[in-house]
Amino acid sequence: MLVIYILGVTEMDVRPADILVMKKNHPCGSKSMYVIRAGMDFKLRCTGCGREFMVPRNKIERHIKQICRDTPENEKK
């Protein structure tokens, strides 16, 4: 698993199937979100309660602490 730490990047490379660790908790208490769809909006699923919701990119990018991604075999170095 590849973990990408975010340090003041203007546009983030968020892809479907990534796990986002957020700065603040979801109301259920979980900090991690699964990315279902990425574009101008993100469709996310809370890994704690399973709730799915849409959030605009500019709103959610400010709240991302780190991105966890499983790298395919052809991307490994």
Helices within 1-77 (DSSP H only) = 57-60
* Ordered per-residue pLDDT tens for the chain, 77 residues: 666 555 554 567 899 999 999 999 999 999 999 999 999 999 999 999 999 999 999 898 899 999 998 876 556 55
Q: Which residues partner with 34 through β-bridges? A: 19, 45
Yes or no: say if 47 and 67 are a contact pair by the CB < 8 Å rule: no
pTM of the prediction? 0.77
DSSP-assigned beta bridge partners for residue 68: 3, 19
What pLDDT is attached to residue 70?
A: 80
Cα(9)–Cα(27) distance, rounded to whole angstroms?
27
Q: What tokens were used for 39?
A: 């574009």
The pLDDT value given to residue 77: 52
